[in-house]
Structure 1
């Protein structure tokens, strides 16, 4: 696991108080904090995703990257629609859809 992922974790956990400290509106700060908490799994996935992407690019496997990206887009659209519109989970549903895809 990437050390910087762990170093940046407090920013996600304490996003609400930090945003309020910088003068953000209370309701915006609260919702941003909720989104930040739900995006922590996505944050940890970047430690695996970016090195793998660079490796595939250096091996000239760009077609594989394109297929995977296209599939991830399809999964994201489907899960976003289900979580936000069908289940009415709103912002949390959008965050979960990003985590899954």
Structure 2
């Protein structure tokens, strides 16, 4: 018999890892297939246009896009939303039908 508890725990974690990898690839920070045996490499700098966020005196290579804050938002925020959704869903379970 399949244990759905493992699926309920693993699905938000898998979703956050896949989402983080997708967006870092989309933002051209993770580059797949350029290194040893297709292992992705991290290019931590991105060229930005000159704006108040990236002043003229910026260092060569641009602004560090992949930071701890990026990882925290993507990898920790998504499971938190799943958890809060589960708490909200539990408010509407009718207990009489469970017994």
TM over 0.5: no
Structure with higher strand content: 2
TM bucket (normalised to shorter chain) is: 0.3 to 0.5
Task: Name which one, 1 or 2, has greater alpha-carbon Rg.
Answer: 2
- TM value normalised by structure 2: 0.39
